[in-house]
Structure 1
């Protein structure tokens, strides 16, 4: 059996292979509600054989949305539509997961195909928040620096969203602490210039992330996995580094986090990122080797052979595919064929299965 198709048990959840659908914003919701687009988009990847599907960045509050079109889980009414999708995913042998996020200073923007620009309050946008009153782009409106009450609201919002996630049928939660969104903004010195208990030292800058984790753990079953996605480097001098990520991983391991999903960048617009095949895998590898923490690798993983090599050589425990899953919803079925491994196809598709 190719290692890519070996099962992986995390807590009480067993993944049938190592291929995961990475969270991908669809910008297709109205008032945060899931709809038929999400059912077909995510359901087809379950039919295609993925072991775990992580829903796109799902806002824990209205002000935490990247755009007005973001998926949300900030109110009870969101649960029913999501549960329809998680039930379908599970029925096809795939584990449903959700990425809970707060966009921080990168909130209140238009969706990419609507220009991607900041929406002012006069244009029905909303006041953004951040660790410090520093906009992502200098020309954009300044975010409001969160005070103690605002920080407590963020923590409470994540906790409430985690409780609703359980009601919606999710078996895995991933906290979005990457790509320049709020939790990343706090731990990166490029965006955090605070002088209180949430700024300055490494310990202070990671404090909000740890408090969010603790609040989520109060309502999330201990037998279900809790993942954290980080940006393992800011790719910018004076910013967060790979060494910082190793130090953070040790802390998260002690806090009971089950796996770190290793992405990079996104916190400053001028970062010089060496994009190429598997360009972020080295961070998943270093964290895994130096801390013993399970990791997921993401970033331009496009072929079965590449994915198999990452797992076989111990660089990561999971591979998370995003754009390749947009190109090939049935990537696991294709990968099994290319790696000469027999897996079960959906009965409705069995007649099309290649015979060895």
Structure 2
């Protein structure tokens, strides 16, 4: 019986080894092809890396990347990983379908657990473009089988000078804290906050009242009355070029204004319809002597200034927006030189 048991054990062990040898000798991890979020200067060529994970026994690649050719122009393929030099990389764009096609094939399959496969070089012509892998993409093995369930991670490309800040404008009391942030900043971009003085932009340093001057978030504490109507932006650098973000305006009200508690209320001025294409109705909900208002774009450009005289609560005003370009605008209502209300409206 012991001899039979010994023979049976050997047979089972040998059967298991044969089964293991029959298995494909490549990793079973999730195969990934990925781009990411990148930024660069407008009208500048930028390289977008394409990364891969768990490439084992890969012998053929076909990638289709959808773009908006009004925003970006395909230049070529570069920085090809040395493991792919056994074959040929081809890259082209179909202007009609607006799809970049990348192909590679080799009789020598490659292994790349985690790394950059290549980069696509593009010319950024607009403000923003999505880089989306299409469903027809395929990764093939040396036995001509197609790998199933590949994870494709899309990318984006944004012009540095179109990056938004939050808030676009803020109204604060003297002595309080202001915070301004760049929205959606890609990780490879560096920051330098600046303050606008006339037509010049001056770099800020880590001295009171400023902190975070080289980070995505700028803190100003305390704000002073002299900072009212100051504009701030972030000088952004990526791929050896620099451009300024959109700007943020700071409005500061001094303490001790007669007859007013220092609070800036949007309810002191109601606007409708919003969005608007023609006349914007504006209702004043407070008695405001020596009133005036100014309208600025989201980037801080003044498009209207008007003295309104003495206003009474409930008074209706009309603002003609017919000559304004489409976009977001800000109304700042003042009384005796002090800001009392801020409202935004969308011109469509």
Q: TM-score range by the shorter chain?
A: under 0.3
Judging by fraction of residues, say which structure has more strand.
2
Judging by fraction of residues, say which structure has more helix.
1
Which one has a bigger Cα radius of gyration? Answer: 2
Greater length-normalized contact order (CA 8 Å, ≥ 6 residues apart)? 1
- TM-score between both structures, scaled by the size of structure 2: 0.21
